[in-house]
Amino acid sequence: MGVLVALYAILIFPGLAFLSTFGLVAEYVDRKLYARFQNRMGPPWFQPFADFVKLLGKETIIPAEANATVFKVLPAVAMAAVVTAMFYIPVWDNRSLLGFEGDLIVVIYLLTIPTLTFFLAGWASTSLYAAMGAVRSLTQLFAYEVPLYMALLAPALLARTWSLQTMARWYTEHPAWMLANLLGFLVAIVALQGKLEKVPFDIPEAETEIVGGTFTEYSGRLLAVFRMAIDMEMVVGAALLAAVFLPFGLGLHPVLVFVLFLAKVLFLVALAALLRALFARLRIEQMVDFCWRILMPAALLQLLLTVVLSGVAP
Amino acid sequence: MANVTIPVGPQHPALKEPECFKVTLDGEKIVGVEIRLGYNHRGIEKACEERTIVQSQYILERVCGICSHSHSTCFLMAVEEAGKIEVPRRALWIRTLIGELERIHSHLLWLGVAGHELGFDTLLMYTWRDRELVMDLLALISGNRVNYNMNVLGGARRDITDAHRAEIRKALPVFRERTAYYARVAQEESTLIARLSGVGRLTKEEAIFYNANGPTARGSGVDRDTRRDDPYLAFPELEFEVVLDDHSDVYGRTLVRIGELMQTYDLIEQIIDGLPEGPIGPARAIRRVAAGEAVSRYEAPRGEDIHYVCTNGTDKVERVKVRAPTLGNLPAVVRMLEGGFLADVPIVVAAIDPCFSCTDRGIRVARSQGQDVWDADALRAYAIEFYRKRGLDLTRVKAPGR
């Protein structure tokens, strides 16, 4: 791959430019649907973009007590990790940009990094609310991460590969086997709410309890980058779920596959908005309890099912 | 992690008014709470002493933005009792009607706020949408959405016309349907129940001991409602049930408020059906009030409102004392928070339906020669001794900041 092509991939498609635009679109869809579920008008289509630009223009304040370097670098780290994860997910056909055997694990790892930066950001802020948020996001990480991994590994086990594109190829050949992962899909959707820190799992940034949580001390450009990284994480998380659990129509014309990809991601975003509108925020211990007592056995059941089925799978 | 103290307030997204709860935490568990009042003291009682009674009524209406009618009515009831002023029956019924409409809007508002504190914004959006209906009714009747100014000394300011009654009658089925829906949500929505039940526990004995009032007390099974126990306005002639619940937690308080909404719709129906004919106020506006003193009690949506008024025969009052329901409920909040989780602080505080600016008061220590100045400890010791003589042991009540 030439340098120019690589730069194009990193900066434009499917890298920064595409991801940030799609992230803003996804945020708009999320906010608009959430508003309509609540009987509200909702924002106009350019609102997420306007918010982003407005934040960019605001003053950036770094707490005197905080470690300035860490404080400034973390938003960029979060964003970089999310963008990198995107290179391993098939977008326009059943191949991804940098796929290799085992990239599923890499994507999962890269998607954990934003959560770690949230923790570090809260910790580095040296504010009480931010520290509470940081501890909560780490506690939450230990609760949703395992069920999420188990759920994601089940389809891979069935396809006998750790590579997202080999999986995509396998499911293109045997589309009906997609249905075997339905339970895991549900588990993953719920766990993704935890990863994206959205209701009912928005505990680390519970506004009425700990003000802004992890991001209490963040402002201006740094907050804008963090928020953009979260929007991108929403897209990449949904894209990962779409690639793993909804791998249909990948053999079509690349443009169609791309449109289908957008539709799948937006469908998952809409599903997340619905969950967000339906529930109240749980307490952290209720959340951990839920993840280990209900989500985890469900994920284990899916794994068991997969192991049994893989005996008869082609 | 060692114990940390997190200030919830005076500026905090969970609180709509400035007040400070210093919460000491062990991890997520609360080990100590300290409440600081006084960030929003406005000197209303003093302001009333310097103005005429007619002016004071408007000031007192602004004690609270939610139960504005409660405060103005409670004040006028005391003035009318002190000055032995007869109020026409129709005016009493109109005041009752506005008071009950106010209860609808207050309880729906509370339900929304509770939803928001739990991160359940959908509930907030729904209840506040439905609340617009009663706001429109109040605006139709009084011309105002918040401070209705429906009272004058010795009567009501505006009459209820047949058109008003028709509008209210039209709205009642909608209210009933929506409230029944919220009752169902409260009984079925699992995350909501998980966040409400067992939170902010206050046993019946504790509720009585800490002098909780209103829905906070009734949610702990304390059978206490001023509208029935000490009927005022039109309540002697109206029939309703006092809604009780023995969950003794935030869930119980929620159910009580939803149940009270249903009772309120019945009350409003009785009022618009049986509204007596006659004048709505005195022919000439009353200005001077005979000397006397009176205490009036009023069941505001948030709990029992108490006004003490001393008149001196002029057009001014000698002294007004306001005890808003929140002040009565605050000691119980400390008890409710202890042993709970940080995540529950907003909802537990919100569950008493607090109104801090109504409650806030300031103390100025005037030091002059030859006078003893008592500090908080001495005052506390005096108070404990005072109540012990009357057979009440208050040593269990913790002093603030200790």
Residues of chain A positioned with their CB less than 8 A from the CB of B30: none
Contact A283 B344 (CB under 8 A): yes
Q: Which residues of chain B have pLDDT under 70?
A: 1, 362-371, 398-402
**Two tokens at A13?**
């498609």
Residues of chain B positioned with their CB less than 8 A from the CB of A131: 4
pLDDT at A31: 92
Residue B182 lies in a domain: yes
3-state secondary structure of B19: coil
Closest by Cβ to A282, choosing from B115, B122, B191: B191
Residues of chain A positioned with their CB less than 8 A from the CB of B344: 283
Q: Which residues of B touch A (CB under 8 A)?
A: 1, 4, 6-7, 12-14, 28, 115-123, 125-126, 129, 189, 191-192, 194-195, 341-346
pLDDT at A23: 92
Chain A and chain B share a number of CB contacts under 8 A equal to 82
pLDDT at A312: 80
pLDDT at B282: 87
For B91, the domain range is 44-335
SS3 letters for chain A?
A: CCHHHHHHHHHCCCCHHHHHHHHHHHHHHHHHHHHHHCCCCCCCCCHHHHHHHHHHHCCCCCCCCCCHHHHHHHHHHHHHHHHHHHCCCCCCCCCCCCCCCCHHHHHHHHHHHHHHHHHHHHHHCCCHHHHHHHHHHHHHHHHHHHHHHHHHHHHHHHHCCCCHHHHHHHHHHCHHHHHHHHHHHHHHHHHHHHHCCCCCCCHHHCHHHHCCHHHCCCCHHHHHHHHHHHHHHHHHHHHHHHHHHCCCCCCCCHHHHHHHHHHHHHHHHHHHHHHHHHCCCCCHHHHHHHHHHHHHHHHHHHHHHHHHHHCCCC
Whether residue B151 contacts residue B157, with contact meaning beta carbons closer than 8 Å, is answered with: yes
pLDDT at B402: 45
Is any Cβ of chain B less than 8 angstroms from the Cβ of A37? yes
Contact A280 B192 (CB under 8 A): yes
In total, how many domains does chain B have?
A: 1
Contact A200 B125 (CB under 8 A): no
Whether residue B354 contacts residue B9, with contact meaning beta carbons closer than 8 Å, is answered with: no
Phi/psi at A12 (nearest 5 deg)? -115, -70
Residue B81 lies in a domain: yes
Interface confidence, given as ipTM, is 0.83
Residue A265 Rama label (left phi>0; alpha psi -120 to 50; beta): alpha
pLDDT at A127: 84
Residue B184 lies in a domain: yes
Give the minimum alpha-carbon distance from A203 to chain B in angstroms, rounded to a whole number. Answer: 8
Contact B1 A135 (CB under 8 A): yes
Share of chain B above pLDDT 90, in %: 28
Contact B191 A135 (CB under 8 A): no
Contact A199 B119 (CB under 8 A): yes
Residues of chain A positioned with their CB less than 8 A from the CB of B29: none
pLDDT at A10: 81
The residues spanned by each domain of chain A are 13-310
Closest by Cβ to B120, choosing from A128, A279, A285: A279
Q: What is the CATH number of the domain that holds B66?
A: 1.10.645.10
**Two tokens at A188?**
């993953």
Closest by Cβ to B129, choosing from A39, A135, A278: A39
Contact B12 A281 (CB under 8 A): no
Contact A283 B341 (CB under 8 A): yes
**Two tokens at B65?**
């933005």
Give the minimum alpha-carbon distance from A277 to chain B in angstroms, rounded to a whole number. Answer: 6
Contact A128 B4 (CB under 8 A): yes
**Two tokens at B95?**
């005041």
Q: Which residues of chain A have pLDDT under 50?
A: none
Q: Give the whole-angstrom CA distance, residue B204 versus residue B197.
A: 16
